[in-house]
Structure 1
Amino acid sequence: MLSQLRTGLYSCLTARGDALFELADAVLGASGPVRSLVELTLTAEHRRGHGALYGGLNLGRIDVDRLRTVLAALPLPRWPDGRIVLAVDVSPWLRSDAACSAERLFCHVYGRARSAAQFIPGWPYSFVVALEMGATSWTAPLDVVRLGPACDAIAVTAAQLRAVAERLIGAGQWHEGDPDILIVADAGYDITRLAYVLADLPVELVGRIRSDRVLRLPAPARLPGTNGRPPKHGGELALADPATWPEPSVSTVTDTGNYGKAEATAWDRLHPRLTHRAAWLDHDGELPIIEGTLIRLKVEHLPGNRDAPPVWLWSSATGATGPDVDRWWQSFLRRFDLEHTFRFWKQTLGWTRPKLRDAHAADRWTWLIIAAHTQLRLARGLTQDLRRPWEKPAPPGQLTPARVRRGFGNLRAAIAQPARVPKPSRPGPGRPPGIPNRRPATRYDVGKTIKRGRTLADLQQPGG
């Protein structure tokens, strides 16, 4: 399967393919964390010069649609019931000092202290990965999209999730009668909007919502002989006010070990009251009622015996049972495995290390990092544990991505090597000495450029 992936990856590199393929191999074969691109040309896996490396990133081409299809056809992690669990999240490639790089946005970055968040210019990337069950730092990346200045984040995410689900269905990963694909997201996503847009697909969505939200109960039954327009919404349920909480429909208690007992309480058929704002501003006609299941998760303590605040989740499914509620909150907690993947890419594989000017070159480098990580995932059971003397032995089949990468070089001789041998050549003369560059690069502003066709003020005017 690993050789099949490498052959499929090489077929997706339609221009400067040999240089791009060897660059991905150099990322896997480097002895330590990737600090800079040019140092990768010193590895044995990269047989070309540094000019070919930058030429491949700046002038190469990757058939991204074909590569996405290749990734969707690979074996994916599944949960005990055979379900595929996907996670979506955004990670920024910060480029605060790159004034000549186009399509940068202000990316939200958390600080070390409370209320120390910052907005730093960079390229935000939206990733979709398949999650594994249990304590692990492995994920299976399936797609990435860079959010540009003219992008509507919710619309782009919805289109991205739809494309991933359709590719999985087309690749035979999901068949009629199988459990629905579960998609988990954090609080930064409008989970009810995503549930409405993706309602025609066999997917369930679970997302965290803010603890100050107010949801509506189902409309009460209409009594005989009642006049007037029937109500659309029932009473309010304020997440911060326990006095407004009705009797829950499902309650479960699970022993988590490290965090003590986890109490999950669920209320069925709750929905937000939508208004013509934000993503619903351009919605024509009456706003829909999107019912789902509200879940309150409370654990006894966090590591260090700290009190844990409750976590509120909303699922697009209704009529949930106890096992359904447990699966939803356990799947949401596994979403944090994606943070380990981001950390491994940035600190070990050097995803955000290159100082690339062109955003499209950054896209190519990002796809190469995904291809390298996927090769490590397929090599989990094929590599030996070359642990350091101070490291603990890892159980068979439970090596971390960094330890699999450490032994990947010994496996490389036994797998496919589709890249061609480089041809001898001479470097170009470059700019003559003493002649400066008289064509300065263009400088770009940072921020969004999207504009709506109509605004909230237009709707409030007569005839709006």
Structure 2
Amino acid sequence: MHQPNLVEGNKPIVLGHDYSTLGWVPEMSGSWAIPLCHERISSFETAAQRAAFQLRQVCRDLSVRPIATYDSEYGSAAFMNLTEDIPADLLLRLRPNRCLYKAPEPYSGSGRPRKHGDKFQLANADSWGDSSATFSLEDETVGQVQIQQWSDLHFKKASQRHFQVIRVTHPHCSGLWLAWVGEQMPTLEQIWRLYLRRFAIDHWNRFAKQRLHWTLPQLLTPQQALRWSDLMPLLSWQLWLARQLVIDTPLPWQKPQTNLTFGRVAQGFAALLVRIGSPACSPKPRGKSLGWKSGRKRDPYPRFPIIKNALLVPKRSTKTSLIPNPKYSPFHSLGFAQFSILWVTFPALF
């Protein structure tokens, strides 16, 4: 299968399926993150749509209002609109080039009431104005931390959802922008630490790829990839439930651990299985397999249609031109096809 080389400066495009994982972070420290929903993003939906669907599913079975943290891909007006009716508080990261809007001035009595106030450009400090609250603290890990808060901001395409904007700076970070959407906001001292707990899901993602071999098999169909991917949350929950039963067995170059991580529990899981035993019978030899019969034909690999997610249509020009109308050109269909196929799914990899 051909895969083009990565060109510096271009958008990276790789072969595979995109997955959305919604996890539960049970502790305020450590690397544990237990996946609740681990699903493939189909070719006919966006990552924001799948994430909103997962959050709605989880909140339907919860008795408390959760706090959901998301990275900058979900800090957008589209995700705000999709999660408007979900009973959950959102803590989103914002891209540093986002443009927000302040609340409009009171209605003057003439004309249509304004929906947006002045611009609040994250990359332009002159547009920020005075912050509504500030807080400083000395952290043991990163040093001096400065936190600022601005209230009552919104996206242009989601003007009905107002939120708080928090900017976190420290010597190792020029500016971390967060948005709080929900009811009672935590204190400025707590909220930036809450977002740092989101990175536990990245540790699980790496563990699933490296230790559980999530991306190792090259499967043929999306259904096979889904069945294999469904095993990842099941294995993770088994490790989480067995963390108090497993005895730490470090390798010669590893230090002993008191609070075991995903990897250390998996490392000592075999000894626990020996203690538990298995209800299955021991395997018995049955002789050699007959193998593939001579003359039996093999079915060819299934072929899948190309998914077209975008279509480039040339803009109409009002100027007269001596170039013939491409509508009547015999090469129009060939050139149009070259520009219309932008995204292709390859189900053999994920």
Superimposed CA distance per residue, residues 171-219 of structure 1 (whole angstroms, 9 cap, x where no aligned partner): xxx24xxxx3111111112444333333333211111111111111111
Q: Partner of 1:9 in structure 2?
A: none
Conservation of the 8 A alpha-carbon contact between 1:150 and 1:448? no
Which of 220, 243, 257 is equivalent to 1:357? 220
Conservation of the 8 A alpha-carbon contact between 2:22 and 2:35? yes
Which of 300, 304, 308 is equivalent to 1:440? 300
Superimposed CA distance per residue, residues 433-453 of structure 1 (whole angstroms, 9 cap, x where no aligned partner): 4x47453213335655589xx
Which of 113, 133, 145 is equivalent to 1:230? 113
Conservation of the 8 A alpha-carbon contact between 2:77 and 2:156? no
Q: Partner of 1:131 in structure 2?
A: 25
Structure 2 CA distance for partners of 1:184 and 1:391, relative to 1, 3 Å = same
Q: Report the residue type matching 1:399 in the other structure.
A: L
**1:203 pairs with 2:88:** yes
Conservation of the 8 A alpha-carbon contact between 1:349 and 1:369? yes
> How do 1:259-298 residues align onto structure 2 when only pairs under 5 Å count?
259-274=142-157, 288-298=159-169
> How do 1:192-341 residues align onto structure 2 when only pairs under 5 Å count?
192-223=77-108, 226-274=109-157, 288-301=159-172, 308-317=173-182, 320=185, 323-341=186-204
CA displacement at 1:128 relative to structure 2: 0.6
CA displacement at 1:165 relative to structure 2: 1.4
**Distance in 2 between residues matched to 1:143 and 1:365, nearest whole Å:** 14
**Distance in 1 between residues matched to 2:120 and 2:271, nearest whole Å:** 59
Which of 404, 407, 415 is equivalent to 2:268? 407
Q: Report the residue type matching 1:443 in the other structure.
A: R
CA displacement at 1:150 relative to structure 2: 2.1
* TM-score of the superposed pair, with normalisation by structure 1: 0.60
Q: Partner of 1:157 in structure 2?
A: 51
**Distance in 1 between residues matched to 2:52 and 2:308, nearest whole Å:** 19
Superimposed CA distance per residue, residues 57-109 of structure 1 (whole angstroms, 9 cap, x where no aligned partner): xxxxxxxxxxxxxxxxxxxxxxxxxxxxxxxxxxxxxxxx499xxxxxx9xxx
Q: Partner of 1:11 in structure 2?
A: none
Superimposed CA distance per residue, residues 338-393 of structure 1 (whole angstroms, 9 cap, x where no aligned partner): 11111111111111111221221221111212211111111111111111222122
Q: Partner of 2:72 in structure 1?
A: 187
Instruction: Give 3-state SS (helix, strand or coil) of 2:161's partner.
Output: coil
CA displacement at 1:149 relative to structure 2: 1.6
Q: Which has the higher contact order (CA 8 A, sep 6+)?
A: 1
Conservation of the 8 A alpha-carbon contact between 2:246 and 2:268? yes
Q: Partner of 2:324 in structure 1?
A: none
Conservation of the 8 A alpha-carbon contact between 2:154 and 2:161? yes
**Distance in 1 between residues matched to 2:184 and 2:133, nearest whole Å:** 10
Q: Report the residue type matching 2:47 in the other structure.
A: A
Which of 194, 203, 206 is equivalent to 1:343? 206
Superimposed CA distance per residue, residues 307-334 of structure 1 (whole angstroms, 9 cap, x where no aligned partner): x2211111213674xx433433222222
Superimposed CA distance per residue, residues 398-417 of structure 1 (whole angstroms, 9 cap, x where no aligned partner): 11211111211222245485
* TM-score of the superposed pair, with normalisation by structure 2: 0.79
Range with greater deviation from structure 2 (196-205 or 334-343): 196-205
Instruction: Give 3-state SS (helix, strand or coil) of 1:311's partner.
Output: strand
Instruction: Give 3-state SS (helix, strand or coil) of 1:255's partner.
Output: strand
Structure 2 CA distance for partners of 1:412 and 1:137, relative to 1, 3 Å = same
Gap runs ≥5 in structure 2: 316-350
Q: Report the residue type matching 1:336 in the other structure.
A: F
Superimposed CA distance per residue, residues 129-156 of structure 1 (whole angstroms, 9 cap, x where no aligned partner): 0114444221111111111222233222
**Distance in 2 between residues matched to 1:195 and 1:186, nearest whole Å:** 13
Conservation of the 8 A alpha-carbon contact between 2:249 and 2:264? yes
Structure 2 CA distance for partners of 1:231 and 1:150, relative to 1, 3 Å = closer
**Distance in 2 between residues matched to 1:379 and 1:358, nearest whole Å:** 33
**Distance in 2 between residues matched to 1:163 and 1:119, nearest whole Å:** 30
**Distance in 2 between residues matched to 1:429 and 1:317, nearest whole Å:** 64
Conservation of the 8 A alpha-carbon contact between 1:206 and 1:315? yes
Q: Partner of 2:320 in structure 1?
A: none
State how many pairs are aligned: 313
Q: Report the residue type matching 2:180 in the other structure.
A: S
Superimposed CA distance per residue, residues 243-281 of structure 1 (whole angstroms, 9 cap, x where no aligned partner): 11121112122322221122111111100111xxxxxxx
% identical aligned pairs: 29
> How do 1:136-147 residues align onto structure 2 when only pairs under 5 Å count?
136-147=30-41
Instruction: Give 3-state SS (helix, strand or coil) of 2:167's partner.
Output: strand
**Distance in 2 between residues matched to 1:219 and 1:245, nearest whole Å:** 15
Conservation of the 8 A alpha-carbon contact between 2:75 and 2:93? no
Structural RMSD (CA): 3.2
